[in-house]
């Protein structure tokens, strides 16, 4: 009901006459939401600027530290990475399974979805550009996948897998899956480091460890170095065993010394964002800017509501 024909005066009157407890709770929540949205908007805008201002590096010539890379996702040699939900071969996955629970309250049915299973991949994969490749450790990354789908079914595991989210869905189980596929373009921001392929070797320690290992297998040791067949290793035969072990250690060192350097991209040591995105750089930055704009609007609305309530109460 309006006062003096103005709905704003009516609302102000309701605020001025409201009980102290609900009034202060609502006002505090509005002002806190305004502040939180403002801070979040600032952080999102900062991420957009960071994405735009960080130059894209080539893997072969990238500096150690925080970098931006672009390339194609590939699997590392070894077992495939497979999504546990659908068995899809990919480079990265995330999934969630929810079950619908029905409750009857005051004669009305209410449904809620309870998460019964969820997981995110932390398997390493490779990012490659025209100059080289880099191992990506996705743990802790904000990921924008190339495929996201949600569908429903009748069991804990889906009987069918749609190519994308279907329009019509039925069933008491809801599945969500996000994937980065092999060959997908990836825009990455993170901490870049190079592990040298020429490690330092301790020849004496490695020789001692190898001889100790040989001594555990006396039968093989006697077979190889008991030249006179008397069933024991004398000093001359032990020296021959030592020379053979030293040759084996040095040969192993040479083989490892020619291993190439390994580049790794992982979560930064500071609070700078770690992003793995299949979206192009411009689109990703625009998404953060639009999000920041929406948060600023929410901050303005919440702050206006809180200020209006305090003004109506005569406190401002």
Query: Which residue in this structure is represented by tokens 């093989």?
Result: 220
Classified as helix, coil or strand, 90 is strand
- Judge whether 217 lies within some domain: yes
Angle CA 245–248–250, to nearest 5: 110
Inside any domain, residue 218: yes
Residue 271 lies in a domain: no
Please report whether residue 208 resides in a domain: yes
Task: Give pTM, 2 decimals.
Answer: 0.67
pLDDT at res. 1:
39
Q: In terms of residue numbers, what domain contains 228? A: 203-257
Pairing type for strands 89-90 and 142-144 reads unpaired
Report long-range pairs for 196-200 (Cβ below 8 Å, ≥24 apart).
Answer: 196/261, 197/257, 197/258, 197/259, 197/260, 197/261, 197/262, 198/257, 198/259, 199/256
The pLDDT tens digits for 126-140 are: 999 999 999 999 999
Flag whether 31 is in a domain: no
Separation CA 209–CA 225 (nearest Å): 18
Examine residue 252 and state whether it is found in any structural domain, yes or no.
Answer: yes
Residues 148-184: tens digit of each pLDDT: 999 999 999 998 888 877 887 888 999 999 999 999 9
pLDDT at 197: 57
Is residue 193 situated within a structural domain? Answer: no
Residue 280 lies in a domain: no
If one counts the domains in the chain, the total is 1
């Amino acid at each position: 009901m309006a006062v003096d024909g103005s709905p704003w005066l009516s609302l102000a009157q309701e605020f001025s006459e409201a009980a102290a407890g609900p009034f202060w709770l609502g006002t505090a929540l509005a002002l806190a939401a305004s502040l939180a949205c403002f801070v979040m908007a600032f952080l999102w805008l900062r991420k957009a600027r960071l994405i735009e201002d960080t130059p894209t590096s080539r893997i072969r010539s990238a500096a150690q530290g925080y970098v931006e890379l672009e390339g194609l996702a590939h699997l590392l040699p070894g077992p495939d990475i497979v999504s546990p939900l659908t068995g899809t071969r990919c480079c990265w996955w995330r999934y969630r399974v929810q079950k619908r629970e029905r409750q009857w309250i005051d004669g009305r049915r209410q449904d809620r979805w309870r998460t019964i299973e969820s997981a995110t991949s932390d398997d390493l994969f490779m990012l490659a550009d025209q100059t080289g490749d880099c191992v990506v450790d996705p743990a802790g990354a904000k990921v924008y996948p190339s495929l996201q789908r949600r569908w429903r079914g009748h069991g804990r595991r889906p009987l069918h897998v749609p190519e994308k989210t279907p329009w019509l869905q039925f069933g008491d189980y809801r599945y969500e899956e996000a994937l980065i596929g092999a060959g997908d373009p990836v825009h990455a921001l993170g901490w870049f480091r190079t592990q040298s392929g020429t490690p330092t070797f301790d020849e004496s320690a490695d020789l001692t460890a190898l001889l100790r290992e040989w001594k555990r297998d006396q039968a093989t040791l006697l077979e190889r170095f008991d030249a006179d067949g008397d069933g024991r290793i004398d000093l001359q035969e032990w020296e021959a065993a030592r020379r053979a072990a030293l040759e084996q250690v040095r040969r192993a060192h040479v083989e490892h010394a020619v291993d190439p350097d390994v580049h790794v991209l992982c979560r930064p040591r500071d609070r700078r964002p770690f992003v793995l995105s299949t979206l192009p750089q411009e689109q990703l930055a625009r998404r953060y800017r639009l999000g920041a704009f929406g948060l600023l609007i929410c901050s303005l609305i919440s702050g206006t509501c809180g200020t209006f309530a305090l003004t109506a109460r005569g406190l401002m």
